[in-house]
Amino acid sequence: MPTPIEIDINGKTYTGSYSVDGNVLTTRYQSQAMTDEVRRTAPAIAARGMLAKLVRLTHDLGSEAKAG
């Protein structure tokens, strides 16, 4: 079962989720997903960093679509 997480970027809250399966951490935001190997960082902390990347990626893709 995925665990919900939230991050704040520039005063706006973004919600995603993460799950751990063995050594694999998967973070999801909207229709995007990112996986990484579980390392020394706690999964919840690593997932927040991954969520931030997914949010930025999603917004970069959105702005490129609008510009094109």
Q: Where are the domains of the chain?
A: 3-67
DSSP for the chain, please give it: -PEEEEEEETTEEEEEEEEEETTEEEEEETTEEEEEE--SS-HHHHHHHHHHHHHHHHHHHHHHHHH-
pLDDT at residue 42, as a whole number = 94
The tens digit of pLDDT for each residue in 9-63 reads 888 999 999 999 999 999 999 999 999 999 898 999 999 999 999 999 987 654 5
Q: What is the pTM of this model?
A: 0.83
pLDDT at residue 7 greater than cutoff 80: yes
pLDDT for residue 66: 47
